[in-house]
Structure 1
Amino acid sequence: MTRKYMAEPFKIKVVEPIAMTTREQREEAIKRAGYNTFLLRSKECYIDLLTDSGTTAMSDNQWAGMMLGDEAYAGSVNFYQLEGAVQDLYGFKHVVPTHQGRGAENLLSQIAIKPGDYVPGNMYFTTTRAHQELNGANFVDIIIDEAHDSASEHPFKGNVDLNKVKALIEKVGAEKIAYICLAVTVNLAGGQPVSMQNMKELRALTQPLGIKIMFDATRCVENAFFIKEREAAYADKSIREIVKEMFSYGDGATMSGKKDCLVNIGGFLAMNDDMLYQKATQLVVLYEGMPSYGGLAGRDMEAMARGMYESVDYYYIKHRVEQVRYLGERLEEAGVPIVKPIGGHAVFLDARRFLPHIDQDQFPAQALAANLYVEGGVRSMERGIISAGRDKQGNNYHPKLELVRLTIPRRVYTYAHMDVVADSVIELYKQRDSIKGLEMIYEPPVLRFFTARFQPLV
């Protein structure tokens, strides 16, 4: 059918050739990679949807800013540009640059967590939970139950269940809660947003008890777009106004600039608390660099500052979300099981329903991702039992969501590429009964999904 879609709000000035491979070449490549799409080489991928982290196409304005890098060891002009952007757009007082988001997670976990503390969050994220647990915290999932149901159409599946928060406070006491980690949007739930109303209510519950709210702000602009779409009170608000209000209900944030700041590397830890900031500046010197550059060159901070302003442009974010939605709607119309509502950065295939004949302990999402690469040269990512990892006793977590993430890089692919992806997934869905499970033949001790290796079950 003929469908309408929003044209790109940009024009293409530089192009990069991409790989055109045969099925035989892809079969050999995935075997060599141990059936782990992370271990494929980028030149072997036709359409690379592994992640939207650092895969952004930067603008001419950002590239121009790169030429203005002040590489002074301390007090770089570009740091003050970045600091000003964070204060202006997000409203936080202090900024500590880091090499990327997990650098900020590391700093926050070390300065805010004591062994035995609890860190409630609206669903875990892999590196975030790893840093929290390595510093002695107990992660507690406080997301609403609908988030674990891929078919639920709840408009804000990233919301916190306030009753779960109250129950945890009653059980362990407010003093044992290091902070609440509030992700906007929630990646592993399918890129699902948190409503402004939920943020207000969470703040009203926790502030009198002295419990801090620290945002995982990685995809905050996408969250703001959904608020504008789905909360009537914000229909006439600008993305910039919504972002600023969102962060007014928190005490700080970790940011992977490689997503909504539209850069290829970088991140920061932001906060309002002076004492916490001093601790962060002491620790960043050990792990990253001077407090005024962290792990970044001046040019990288300049590109991030400029990207932050570009990200709150309504037409940019509208195109981004609608391109993701276009792919999801094509798959949904063909009967392919996906997480609904369609998220802001990716379409998530429901591997449980796609491959019901494969037991979760045979890694259906990993098998699906490997077979999708062979089918169409499309690289995607497992987000299920392998990503969930093991508990402290060494047992596999068995998450309710067993997903494959088709993650759309920002300003990189066209709608024609989305059609190629859709066609590949739909064709694979027709052949789904022929797909076999996998067994793990190598497992690293931490964050196994990055480097684990597999082989097909006979």
Structure 2
Amino acid sequence: MVDVFDLKKYPAEPFKIKTVETVKTITKEHREKAIKEAGYNTFLLKSEDCYIDLLTDSGTNAMSDKQWAGMMIGDEAYAGSRNWLHLEKTVQDIFGFKHVVPTHQGRGAENLLSRIAIKPGQYVPGNMYFTTTRYHQEANGGIFVDIIRDEAHDAGLNVPFKGDICLDKLKKLVDEKGAENIAYVCLAVTVNLAGGQPVSMKNMREVSEYCRPLGIKVMYDCTRFAENAFFIQEQEEGYQDKSIAEIVKEMFSYADGATMSGKKDGIVNIGGFLAMNDDELFGKAKEFVVVFEGMPSYGGMAGRDMEAIAIGLKESLQDSYIEYRVKQIRYLGDRLLEAGIPIIEPVGGHAVFLDAKRFCPHIPQDQFPAQALAAALYVEAGVRSMERGIVSAGRDPKTGENHVPKLETVRLTIPRRVYTYKHMDIVADAVIKLYKHKEDIRGLKFVYEPKQLRFFTARFEHI
């Protein structure tokens, strides 16, 4: 039996709660009506109709007293804000990059990087796709190639560092296409759609050692960098006695730049940045940030938001915080595994991913089992989650055919410093109960399908 009082395995919250937000439960009849009106798309539910909201950890975090205090000293100057100078120095100190360009959130940084670093027809290898990242890469003429290790596509395989890039796949692509036809390597730490799986320091070092002599840049998606650093500290030989801050500094010494959604490990509600060492790319990025985001000294953020991110980035490096963060998610995963629920193993850094293929084997993938399962979980208990499968994968822009990922999952994403272990128990109990009558879950079909990033606004009905 999973024991929440095992404080070594599941640390208590390293904070105390001073402000609360009231939530309510609604009847199952109300939930059935709400999900139908939302077209069985959890993105289209009203927040007030969700009891425990695990849709995303992006911008849904609870800020600290120091962050809120920082919000009150926002310098809202149009140019040269002191909060920008604080954020710039913080990013330089933590990650070691020379240049920083602020953006309103992560996809703003992805847009800038794709525009300045990709020539039409170039290849962008990466350790599994992410939805908005691949969209920007393809919209700017890039061709995404998945080079993650094969083990990442096997949900039930429990091995460490499933987010690693497969060096053989990368070398094969470069040999076939030529180094000049590689825009850059996109390395995510951690890998979201693989289940929040980390990348080892050894793998980062090897990718860098291979790419740098060839002139191929390695650009990180560092959205969940602190979570990745914790796994290295916990599981990689030689790092047990190093601090999270020390591990992060080494991680990014192997990168040429990075995109960041501050809404995750920045522990804020909005904001992001693009960082790099290359002077020429920085010049181009500053030109485009003015067009798409704002001045190079605010990038679409208010001064108070930049102050909150600067403080949040430092707080994310606190060893006690990040240990609690990862192990709270592990607690939920352990409860589900103990009950025989199929999930992606091992449990990653920001979410527990239900394996919809094994959870709903009676629903073929072209009837969107993960989408159906997410809707059913909401009806069961008012828990909002997110589909991460064939709907999220979208269509091939050339053929129009569905991308068919090997992983068909429902993501139970835990916001930072928001929910307690008791909330995790409620989620686990709901999933376990639903699994006992999983045959009642029915497949879905589109009734509205947008052309871009369809998972946000698509609508469905039962087959």
Q: What range describes the TM-score normalised by the shorter chain of this pair?
A: over 0.9
Q: Which amino acid aligns with 2:273?
A: F
Q: Structure 1 CA distance, aligned partners of 2:272 and 2:306?
A: 9
Q: Structure 2 CA distance, aligned partners of 1:173 and 1:263?
A: 40
Counterpart in 1 of 2:214?
209
Deviation at 1:3, TM superposition (A): 3.7
Deviation at 1:6, TM superposition (A): 1.6
Counterpart in 1 of 2:248?
243
Q: Is the 8 A contact 2:163 2:194 kept in 1?
A: yes
Counterpart in 1 of 2:267?
262
Kindly report which structure 2 residues correspond to 1:64-79, keeping only aligned pairs within 5 A, or say none: 64-79=69-84
Q: Structure 2 CA distance, aligned partners of 1:35 and 1:436?
A: 11
Q: Which amino acid aligns with 1:267?
A: G
Deviation at 1:456, TM superposition (A): 0.8
Which of 133, 136, 149 pairs up with 1:131?
Answer: 136
Q: Is the 8 A contact 2:54 2:415 kept in 1?
A: yes
- What percentage of aligned pairs have identical amino acids? 72
Residue 238 of structure 2 aligns to a residue whose secondary structure is helix
Q: Is the 8 A contact 2:4 2:421 kept in 1?
A: no
Which of 403, 411, 430 pairs up with 1:405?
Answer: 411
Which of 230, 233, 237 pairs up with 2:238?
Answer: 233
Q: Structure 2 CA distance, aligned partners of 1:323 and 1:76?
A: 37
Counterpart in 2 of 1:222?
227
Deviation at 1:434, TM superposition (A): 1.2
Q: Structure 1 CA distance, aligned partners of 2:159 and 2:393?
A: 23
Q: Which amino acid aligns with 1:431?
A: H
Residue 445 of structure 2 aligns to a residue whose secondary structure is strand
Q: Structure 2 CA distance, aligned partners of 1:229 and 1:69?
A: 37
4+ aligned runs moved over 4 Å, structure 1: none
Kindly report which structure 2 residues correspond to 1:54-133, keeping only aligned pairs within 5 A, or say none: 54-133=59-138
- CA offset digits 1:273-299 (Å, max 9, x no partner): 011001000010000111011110111
Q: Which amino acid aligns with 2:457?
A: T
Q: Is residue 335 from structure 1 mapped to residue 369 from structure 2 by the alignment?
A: no
Counterpart in 2 of 1:442?
448
Q: Structure 2 CA distance, aligned partners of 1:326 and 1:447?
A: 32
Instruction: Tell me how many residue pairs correspond in the alignment.
Output: 457
Q: Is the 8 A contact 2:99 2:276 kept in 1?
A: yes
Q: Is residue 358 from structure 1 mapped to residue 363 from structure 2 by the alignment?
A: yes
Deviation at 1:154, TM superposition (A): 1.6
Deviation at 1:7, TM superposition (A): 1.1
Q: Structure 1 CA distance, aligned partners of 2:277 and 2:73?
A: 29
Q: Which amino acid aligns with 2:75?
A: D
- CA offset digits 1:96-153 (Å, max 9, x no partner): 0000000000000000011001000000000000000000000000000000000111
Counterpart in 2 of 1:188?
193
Q: Structure 1 CA distance, aligned partners of 2:165 and 2:4?
A: 36
Q: Structure 1 CA distance, aligned partners of 2:293 and 2:347?
A: 36
Kindly report which structure 2 residues correspond to 1:296-445, keeping only aligned pairs within 5 A, or say none: 296-391=301-396, 392-445=398-451
Counterpart in 1 of 2:281?
276
Residue 212 of structure 2 aligns to a residue whose secondary structure is helix
Q: Is the 8 A contact 2:155 2:407 kept in 1?
A: yes
Counterpart in 2 of 1:291?
296
Deviation at 1:255, TM superposition (A): 0.1
Residue 233 of structure 1 aligns to a residue whose secondary structure is coil
TM-score w.r.t. the length of structure 2 is 0.98
Q: Is the 8 A contact 2:4 2:331 kept in 1?
A: no
Q: Is the 8 A contact 2:123 2:143 kept in 1?
A: yes
Q: Is the 8 A contact 2:185 2:217 kept in 1?
A: yes
Long gaps (5+) in structure 2: none
Q: Structure 2 CA distance, aligned partners of 1:440 and 1:424?
A: 27
Long gaps (5+) in structure 1: none
Q: Which amino acid aligns with 1:241?
A: E
Q: Structure 2 CA distance, aligned partners of 1:114 and 1:19?
A: 50
